[in-house]
């Protein structure tokens, strides 16, 4: 691909032309698929297979990754333009999940060259699926209290313990996991970041049914599970630093809303509610609340663009991701609430021919979206991070 030298207008023209020529129109989606449904492993159609092949060959499934690892070598600005153009035609990125969205970025920073070559290229091709082993039944918000044990057995690591909310674990090939390697050290200092193969006798997953109908969350049990010695990422007992960096990448992705769905919420409102003789939304109160939501969404996207511009040259996320995570999830939840209100009785559909595909999806998106202000660190945790690392307020969490 040509070097666009930061000329995003030139890149936009190239990206738009490529998408028009290569994106199968049968896959167009006017509303973003909710995160829970997106994690369920459905059988792909022939057009879905073709779209995946094309975008992988282009490197745009992982657009900012270096080309030698299967990426597109794009700048952050170019990648954002690509996302906008994909949203314009209703295209989803077929290379999704925790591999490209979270783990890959972290491995680029902390992994050895052998680890990068082993994992990044399969991830960029959608050939390797990952899950996250962080939370435990007794270690949620206080993640550093985790107790999953990892012992050095000479030629391998042995892992015993339980993780929970391991999204997509039932489909995953690998798990990036925080484990306790030194039980005598202070809780933040005895943690390591290890990669665990999921397809082995010592790993058991149990899906947790969610109200939205999908089951991406799992309980995961490790019983004498094995990991190779070179599956340790970063230094021994230095996993807390690696793990925190990964969370920043996760929150950055959660704050970067697609927003950019190809049908605006205003058009949805005009379709269901109707307009007055002046072409305005007929319900004045709804019109006012809808305008406020659209202003909030636009402000979020402008702030995101500013953050990208200010971080130019530094690909690593900062504490600003906590601001964007909270903002993005709030805007997303508000859109879901307004969409159901706008649809009226048609916004109550779960199944059957009386409801369209988009109407049924709107209900599932509304339900699954309730989790977004909790997972990846709750909004309260993000507010604590903002208060300490951005505003410089005293730390009142009494971390040990």
Task: Label the pairing between strands 149-152 and 156-164.
Answer: antiparallel
Nearest Cα neighbor of 31 from 268, 194, 237 is 268
Nearest Cα neighbor of 32 from 357, 356, 260 is 260
- Among residues 250, 310, 341, 380, the one annotated as catalytic is 250
Cα–Cα distance measured from residue 60 to residue 341, given in angstroms and rounded to the nearest whole number: 36
C-beta atoms surrounding 323 within 10 Å: 21
SS3 assignment for the chain: CCCCCCCHHHHHHHHHHHHHHHCCHHHCCCCCCCHHHHCCCCCCCHHHHHHHHHHHHHCCCCCCCCHHHCCCCCCHHHHHHHHHHHHHCCCCCCCCCHHHHHHHHHHHHHCCHHHHHHHHHHHHCCCCCEEEECCECCECCCHHHCCCEEEECCCEEEEEEEEECCCCCCCCCEEEEEEECCCCCCCCCCEEEEEEECCCCCEEEEECCCCCCCCCCEEEEEEEEEEEHHHEECCCCCHHHHHHHHHHHHHHHHHCCCCCCCCCHHHHHHHHHCECCCCCECCHHHHHHHHHHHHHHHHHHHHHHHHHHHCCCCCCCCCHHHHHHHHHHHHHHHHHHHHHHHHHHHHHCCCCCCCCHHHHHHHHHHHHHHHHHCCCCCHHHHHHHHHHHHCCCCCCCCCC
359 catalytic per annotation: no
End-to-end CA distance of the chain: 50
- So which residues are the catalytic ones? 250
């Amino acid at each position: 691909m040509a070097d666009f030298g930061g000329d995003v207008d030139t890149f936009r023209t190239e990206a738009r032309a490529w998408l028009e020529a290569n994106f199968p129109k049968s896959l167009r989606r006017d509303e973003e698929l909710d995160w829970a449904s997106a994690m369920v492993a459905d059988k792909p159609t022939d057009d879905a297979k073709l779209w995946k092949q094309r975008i992988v060959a282009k490197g745009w499934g992982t657009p900012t990754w270096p080309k030698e690892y299967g990426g597109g070598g794009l700048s952050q600005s170019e990648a954002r333009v690509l996302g906008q153009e994909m949203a314009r035609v209703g295209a989803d990125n077929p290379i999704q999940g925790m591999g490209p969205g979270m783990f890959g970025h972290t491995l680029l920073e902390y992994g050895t060259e052998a680890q990068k070559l082993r994992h990044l290229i399969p991830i960029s091709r959608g050939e390797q699926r990952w899950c996250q082993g962080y939370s435990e039944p007794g270690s949620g918000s206080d993640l550093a209290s985790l107790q999953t044990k990892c012992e050095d057995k000479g030629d391998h690591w042995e892992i015993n313990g339980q993780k929970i909310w391991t999204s997509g674990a039932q489909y995953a090939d690998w798990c990036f996991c925080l484990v306790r390697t030194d039980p005598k050290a202070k809780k933040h200092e005895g943690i390591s970041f290890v990669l665990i193969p999921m397809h082995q006798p010592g790993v058991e997953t149990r899906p947790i049914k969610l109200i939205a109908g999908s089951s991406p969350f799992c309980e995961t049990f490790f019983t004498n599970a094995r990991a190779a010695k070179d599956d340790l990422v970063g230094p021994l007992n230095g996993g807390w630093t690696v793990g925190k960096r990964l969370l920043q990448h996760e929150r950055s992705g959660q704050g970067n809303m697609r927003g950019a769905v190809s049908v605006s919420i205003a058009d949805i409102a005009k379709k269901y509610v109707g307009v007055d003789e002046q072409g305005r939304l007929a319900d004045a109160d709804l019109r006012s609340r809808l305008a406020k939501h659209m202003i909030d969404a636009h402000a979020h996207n402008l702030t995101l663009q500013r953050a990208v511009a200010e971080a130019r040259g530094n690909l690593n996320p900062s504490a600003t991701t906590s601001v964007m995570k909270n903002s993005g999830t709030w805007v997303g939840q508000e859109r879901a609430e307004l969409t159901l209100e706008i649809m009226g009785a048609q916004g109550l559909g779960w199944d059957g021919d009386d409801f369209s595909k988009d109407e049924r999806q709107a209900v599932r998106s509304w339900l699954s979206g309730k989790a977004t202000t909790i997972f990846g660190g709750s909004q309260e945790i993000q507010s604590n991070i903002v208060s300490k690392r951005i505003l410089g307020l005293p730390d009142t969490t009494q971390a040990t």
